[in-house]
Amino acid sequence: MTVIDANRMHEIETRYPEYFHRSFRQRFGGLMILIATLLYSLYAVWFFDLPKLFAEAHWERVGIYLSQWVSYDVQPEFRIEGDGSIDIRYPRFSPLGDNPHPDWLVNNPDGSITVSISGTSRSVTVSKSETIVTAHGVSVPVEVSSGAPKVVGPVPGWMTVYDDNVLADLGFAGNVSISVDRVKIRKRFIGWANFIFDTQSSFFDKPVGEVVSLIVSGPRIKPDQSNLSLAFDDIWNNSEWQHGDVWTKLFQTIVMAFLGTLLGALTAFPLAFLAARNITPNRLLNQILKRFFDFLRSVDMLIWALFLTRAFGPGPLAGSGAIILTETGTLGKLYSEGLENIDNKPREGIKSTGAQTVLVHRYGIMPQIVPVFVSQTLYQWESNVRGATIIGAVGAGGIGLKLWEAMRTNANWENVAYMVILILIVVFIFDTASNALRHRLMGTKTH
């Protein structure tokens, strides 16, 4: 066991004072940060009134919207006529087409109609005098022969009685609205209805094998057009999903991001040389350009898009202009800071040979900055693909406007899901390509 005397201890303390004579900040800094974070969190909870916000939030709407992203519904209406007959009607533009005969709707011998909502566990039987709703293991009759619908027996928790209407909530499978002279049923299906062919297509409701056979070797449906061309036209001009318009708007978004980033980079590149102190020794010009870059960056791309849509009208031109202005400021700042941090030795060496300024920049500066500039530009391009979607919602064109229009209807959530998935795929592709190019230019390996 080694014994350290007082002189040796003093020598060690003198040599390593940071371990033996720590400042207040070093001793309690971590604890202070923890306390400050906790206090700020409590302040945020109070400022945003989070308990009230969570208590009053309509959490049930989350499930409704998500279910509508991945499903569709059919809404048959059964009208009880004065002679006791039941007339079946479907809404206009029903997913089942103009003359539907679904197998989940059965006409019974006694004149009633049974609708299977979800297998045999949930069904509705409509007759002229009563409607029987079967769900959750029980069958509940609702009389409709008097002035108002009347539930026979105890009312279950999933059924709500109003003055002139009885509503049965069957969960994700759908719901039933019962009044004296009509019964409205909402039956939900998983999937996207008529995603390939709409109800007006000649190929609508045909099995896949029959469609393939018609396209490959079947007789022409239209004498002046091949079946393959007709099928493509029906898909591209699908009235429900509007594939042609969606893909055109998506391509507009990609072009907006590319054109805006490219022109922004080309504008920022020469200005960055004038803004860099070590390249252009003019402090007034340096400061004017740097403040100009700050101004362009401080106004958000969305605000620029609002200004330009008022000036030029809605469309991709306004969107591209908003990206150009924002990227001129952002890339101008990044480029100028990159130039100010270069190694001046290669530049001074070439300058000492009497080379012209253009050659000094070409061989003394460009080899150092090109990989960094291209990497930064690629990152901004990738980011602008997402940004172009957002500014499209304010009228700047592209798929963002199409997405906003679908959301405003509050009914076409499956179309919203379709466009969101397309946007995610495009962003993923551009993110992967941008990362690969950046790693290749910087000489690093991807993992």
pLDDT in tens, 273-323: 899 888 888 889 989 999 999 999 888 888 999 888 888 888 888 889 999
Average pLDDT of 373-386?
86
- 413 pLDDT more than 90: no
Q: What is the pLDDT of residue 422?
A: 92
Structure confidence at residue 21 as a pLDDT band (50, 70, 90): low
- 445 pLDDT more than 60: no
Average pLDDT of 48-59?
84
Q: What is the pLDDT of residue 295?
A: 93
Question: How far is residue 372's CA from residue 161's CA, in Å, rounded to a whole number?
Answer: 68
User: If we measure between CA atoms, which residue out of 181, 205, 184 comes closest to residue 103?
Assistant: 205
Contacts 24+ apart (CB under 8 A), 1-5: none
Q: What is the pLDDT of residue 1?
A: 55
pLDDT digits (tens, 9 = 90+) for 196-222: 998 888 888 888 899 899 888 888 888
Structure confidence at residue 153 as a pLDDT band (50, 70, 90): confident
Most confident of 57-71, 128-142, 404-418: 128-142
- 2 pLDDT more than 70: no
Q: What is the pLDDT of residue 444?
A: 59
Lowest pLDDT segment from 57-71, 74-88, 236-250: 57-71
On whether the CB atoms of residues 74 and 95 are closer than 8 A, the answer is yes
pLDDT digits (tens, 9 = 90+) for 177-190: 999 889 999 999 99
Q: What is the pLDDT of residue 18?
A: 62
Higher pLDDT, 426 or 441: 426
Q: What is the pLDDT of residue 115?
A: 92
- 432 pLDDT more than 90: no
- 13 pLDDT more than 80: no
Average pLDDT of 118-145?
88
Phi, psi angles (nearest 5°) of residue 253: -60, -45
Question: How far is residue 176's CA from residue 375's CA, in Å, rounded to a whole number?
Answer: 58
Average pLDDT of 115-119?
87
Average pLDDT of 355-383?
81
Q: What is the pLDDT of residue 147?
A: 76
* Other Cβ atoms within 10 Å of 48 Cβ, number: 10
Phi, psi angles (nearest 5°) of residue 338: -65, -40
- 224 pLDDT more than 60: yes
Q: Left if phi > 0, otherwise alpha if psi is -120 to 50, otherwise beta: which for 379?
A: alpha
How many residues in total does the chain contain?
447
On whether the CB atoms of residues 98 and 92 are closer than 8 A, the answer is no
Lowest pLDDT segment from 226-230, 254-258, 365-369: 365-369
Q: What is the pLDDT of residue 407?
A: 85
Contacts 24+ apart (CB under 8 A), 363-371: 365/279, 365/339, 368/342, 368/343, 369/335, 369/338, 369/339, 369/342, 371/441, 371/442, 371/443
Q: What is the pLDDT of residue 63?
A: 77
Name the class of domain 243-442: mainly alpha
Q: What is the pLDDT of residue 410?
A: 76
Q: What is the pLDDT of residue 419?
A: 92
